[in-house]
Structure 1
Amino acid sequence: MISYKQLQYKDINQLKDYFKHVISHTFLNNDVDDDEDLNSEINKKMTYINRYFNGSDDMFIVAKDGDVVVGIIGFYTPNQMIQELVGDKVDGLKEMGTLYIHPDYQSRGIGSQLIVLLTQFMKEQGVDSYCFDCGYKKAMATWTRKFGQPTYFFKDYWDVGDHYAVWIVDIKETFV
């Protein structure tokens, strides 16, 4: 039985290995083979987690199977790339991100449930809209299916055929 709850400090010890596993899987699934980028991405996620535990107004929700984290989603200040590429269009917004589901638990609705729970949290906080980004081909297709065309699309951003996109989502218009 999968349970969903706010990330607690006792979960932090398993997160670095968790991120290494799920992000490695994501890179492999999207034909990304760059150890430096992998380590950078893992470290970036751990920075978000550490900021969360140091009193920021960020939020993380985890999906757990018993005591084991099998999914995570976060809500925090938009990442540097979003801020640089879309500028003041994200002023005052938070980013929904760090959505990773353990490969053995994918396609079970866990990611969708984490989005629902985080969106409910945002509504309770009086948030009207948020942003998120994506640079992975397979995930981009999923987000386009769920949220429509991206608000900002950067064709061939990483390389020919490897695009980057940013969505700005009005909570009232989402599927939640």
Structure 2
Amino acid sequence: MIENLSIMKLTDEDFEGAYEVIKTTIPYAFDLCHLDDDDEVKAMINEKRDLLKQSINKDEPIFFIAKHNDKVIGTISFAPCSEDIKICTNNEITDLGEMGGLYILPEYQGKGIGSTLINYLIAYLKKQGIEEVCLESGYKQAQPKWIRKFGEPYVIAKDYWAPGLDNMVWKYKI
């Protein structure tokens, strides 16, 4: 585990740092999946930027950040269930909140920061009385990690993103 790690709710002061994490990790994840879609990358970055901004002034979505010393190195969010989850589950999942937005700077990956953010968010949700959440992943390199952490997916949407790129959806009881 990394020393001097702190987890906190995103504030206006840390917006730029969180946005930098998003701008770095989304293209990195696409490269790992051998995807070359600059328009999709830009759209995802802009969508996440807007969600980051929205979370500062509202209760939903909520973003927590991981900071090493004073540098933002990771994010995680909780928001209403995404359209992709609704589509992949044929609207079987519509009312669960979604755990997502887990982005860790590449040089900090594999050091337990993602697990720390997940555990922090789960503890927060538990205090809020939330008993079950959903999550999804279309990133091939992340899917085995999610399977290890949350078990077999509730649904696997074959070729959802492109041929050979499945989307996996989980339901998780807190």
Report the equivalent of 1:108.
111
> Aligned partners of 1:112, 1:163: CA distance in 2, in Å?
23
Pairing partner for 1:49 from 29, 42, 52: 52
Report the equivalent of 2:146.
143
Q: Which has a greater percent of helix? A: 1
Deviation at 1:72, TM superposition (A): 0.7
Q: Could you tell which deviates more after superposition, 129-138 or 81-90?
A: 81-90
Q: Could you tell which deviates more after superposition, 110-119 or 81-90?
A: 81-90
> Aligned partners of 2:41, 2:173: CA distance in 1, in Å?
31
Which secondary structure does the structure 2 equivalent of 1:138 belong to?
Answer: coil
Q: Note the residue ranges of structure 2 that are not aligned, 5 or more in a row.
A: none
> Aligned partners of 2:87, 2:161: CA distance in 1, in Å?
15
Flag the structure with more relative contact order, 1 or 2, with Cα contacts below 8 A and sequence separation at least 6. Answer: 2
Aligned residue runs from structure 1 range 2-13, under 5 A: 2-13=5-16
> Aligned partners of 2:166, 2:60: CA distance in 1, in Å?
31
Relative distance call for 1:51 and 1:18 in structure 2 (3 A) is: same
RMSD in angstroms over aligned alpha carbons?
Answer: 1.4
Give CA-to-partner distance per residue, 1:106-142, whole Å, 9 cap, x none. 1110000100000000100000100011001110111
Which secondary structure does the structure 1 equivalent of 2:89 belong to?
Answer: helix
> Aligned partners of 2:91, 2:38: CA distance in 1, in Å?
32
The answer to whether 1:95 aligns with 2:98 is yes
The answer to whether 1:34 aligns with 2:42 is no
**How many percent of aligned residue pairs carry the same amino acid?**
36
Deviation at 1:71, TM superposition (A): 0.8
> Aligned partners of 1:4, 1:21: CA distance in 2, in Å?
20
Aligned residues: 171
Give CA-to-partner distance per residue, 1:84-108, whole Å, 9 cap, x none. 3325432321100000111111111
The answer to whether 1:79 aligns with 2:82 is yes
- TM-score, normalisation: structure 1: 0.91
Which secondary structure does the structure 2 equivalent of 1:3 belong to?
Answer: strand
> Aligned partners of 2:24, 2:91: CA distance in 1, in Å?
34
Q: Note the residue ranges of structure 1 that are not aligned, 5 or more in a row.
A: 172-176
Report the equivalent of 2:167.
164
Counterpart of 1:14, as a letter, is: G
- TM-score, normalisation: structure 2: 0.92
